């Protein structure tokens, strides 16, 4: 929505006080934790076949979290941020978007990246400290994991702006936490996107905690979505643990982006069930009662309940799925751990599109003293 017009008169009434702006933010929920499903809003959003696939995708991501935690604790991997509790947000977006729309993630969107086709071992390699984990295959239209808080929102805005400039239908969707909405990068990205009509979707994963800082301290507004409204973009709040609501919201935002070239702010209300990372101990600042309450709202539990209601799932299928997942995750771990060490030449070959001659000599000789000698001769000649 537009809040103001360039040529609007400064005064439109002789009244001393008048209302110049009113707004409402809608909250969307289709499948709640009590297995209540809104047939009207949910009609045609996700086929039964795809719902099974989405549930399996979330389950696979959840199991990877379990394995990654053990890898970190056994010293086989560095710090790792678990995704559990937030799987539906990025997965719903990846499902709703076109396969060539940009996914611009931070570090808790594994489920959406895997749905897009990013190899599971890429995520493991990243947290093992291997830069090859950040080399996202071009065909997946996914950017490398962004650990600095908020920087990726500017990247998404730039990617969407470039697509618009080229006349492409491709849009960008970026993810960030409620804490990141307090960063200057968010406000710069939102200002550019709204004022320049850039087709980007801002997906705020509002999980109540910016590491150990509760949302009530870093955002006094009733909803984080209001921060997007301040820039004149349409905003909505969504049950982020409801895969149907996530798909519904992103589909609507994507339609607006393609047809009107307008950004949208989506506040996906969710919860991280684990620590911020394996370097954190959330028990020091969160009440267990709060965690227990959100466990009842788990996106995997409510999706499975609906599948069982539809007679699409049972314990035998659950057991068979678990066996398949264990095999695939263990294979990904093996590929990550057994990957050949990168050659020293990588330090040079991935720095320039065309390597300068002096660096070619340095790469081939793995020495720098001869370069210094050449430089001295060159200097004396002048």
Query: Cα–Cα distance between 253 and 270 in angstroms, integer?
Result: 19
Residue partners of 310: CB distance under 8 A and separation at least 6:
48
pLDDT, one tens digit per residue, over 233-255 is: 999 999 999 999 999 999 999 99
Query: Cα–Cα distance between 135 and 145 in angstroms, integer?
Result: 10
What percentage of the chain has pLDDT greater than the value 90? Answer: 80
The alpha carbon dihedral of 248, 253, 254, 260 has a sign of positive
Q: Is the pLDDT of residue 365 over 70?
A: yes
pLDDT at 5: 41
pLDDT, one tens digit per residue, over 154-190 is: 999 999 999 999 999 999 999 999 999 999 999 999 9
pLDDT at 371: 62
Longest dimension (CA), the chain: 85
Query: Cα–Cα distance between 78 and 62 in angstroms, integer?
Result: 18
pLDDT at 2: 37
What's the pTM?
Answer: 0.89
Q: Was domain 26-337 assigned CATH 3.40.50.970?
A: yes
Query: What is the pLDDT of the chain when averaged over all its residues?
Result: 92
Q: Helix or strand or coil: residue 353? A: coil
What percentage of the chain has pLDDT greater than the value 70? Answer: 93
Q: Is the pLDDT of residue 309 over 80?
A: yes
Domain ranges of the chain: 26-337, 346-380
Query: Cα–Cα distance between 2 and 231 in angstroms, integer?
Result: 9
**Structural tokens at position 316:** 């035998």
Strand partners, 214: 209
Q: Strand 209-210 and strand 213-214: pairing? A: antiparallel
CA angle 22, 24, 28 (to 5 degrees): 170
Query: Cα–Cα distance between 373 and 379 in angstroms, integer?
Result: 10
pLDDT band at 320 (very low <50, low <70, confident <90, very high): very high
Closest to 247 in 3D by CA, of 28, 45, 39, 57: 45
Where in the sequence numbering do the catalytic residues fall? Answer: 272, 276, 285
């Amino acid at each position: 929505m537009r809040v103001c017009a360039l040529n609007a008169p400064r005064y439109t009434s002789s009244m001393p006080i008048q209302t110049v702006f009113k707004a409402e933010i809608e909250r969307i929920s289709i499948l709640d934790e009590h297995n209540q499903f809104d047939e009207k809003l949910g009609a045609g959003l996700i086929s039964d076949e795809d719902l099974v696939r989405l549930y399996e995708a979330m389950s696979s991501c959840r199991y990877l979290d379990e394995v990654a935690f053990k890898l970190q604790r056994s010293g086989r991997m560095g710090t790792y941020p678990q995704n559990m509790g937030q799987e539906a947000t990025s997965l719903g977006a990846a499902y709703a978007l076109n396969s060539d729309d940009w996914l611009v993630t931070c570090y808790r969107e594994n489920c959406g990246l895997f749905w897009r086709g990013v190899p599971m071992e890429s995520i493991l390699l990243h947290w093992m400290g291997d830069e090859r984990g950040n080399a996202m295959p071009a065909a997946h239209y996914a950017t490398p994991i962004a650990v600095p808080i908020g920087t990726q929102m500017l990247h998404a805005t730039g990617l969407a702006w470039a697509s618009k400039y080229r006349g492409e239908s491709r849009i960008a969707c970026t993810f960030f936490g409620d804490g990141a909405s307090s960063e200057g990068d968010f406000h710069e990205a939102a200002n550019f996107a709204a004022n320049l009509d850039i087709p980007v979707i801002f997906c705020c994963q509002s999980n109540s905690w910016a590491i150990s800082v509760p949302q009530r301290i870093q955002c006094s507004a009733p909803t984080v979505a209001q921060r997007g409204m301040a820039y004149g973009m349409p905003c909505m709040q969504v049950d982020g643990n409801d895969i149907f609501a996530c798909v519904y919201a992103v589909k609507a935002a994507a339609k607006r982006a393609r047809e009107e070239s307008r950004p949208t702010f989506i506040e996906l209300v969710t919860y991280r069930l684990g620590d911020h990372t394996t370097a954190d101990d959330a028990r020091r600042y969160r009440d267990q009662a709060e965690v227990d309450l959100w466990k009842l709202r788990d996106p995997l539990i409510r999706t499975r309940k609906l599948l069982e209601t539809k007679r699409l799932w049972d314990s035998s299928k659950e057991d068979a799925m678990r066996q398949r997942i264990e095999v695939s995750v263990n294979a990904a771990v093996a590929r990550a751990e057994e990957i050949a060490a990168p050659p020293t030449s990588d330090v040079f070959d991935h720095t320039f599109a065309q390597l300068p001659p002096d660096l070619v000599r340095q790469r081939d000789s793995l020495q720098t003293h001869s370069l210094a000698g050449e430089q001295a001769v060159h200097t004396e000649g002048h």
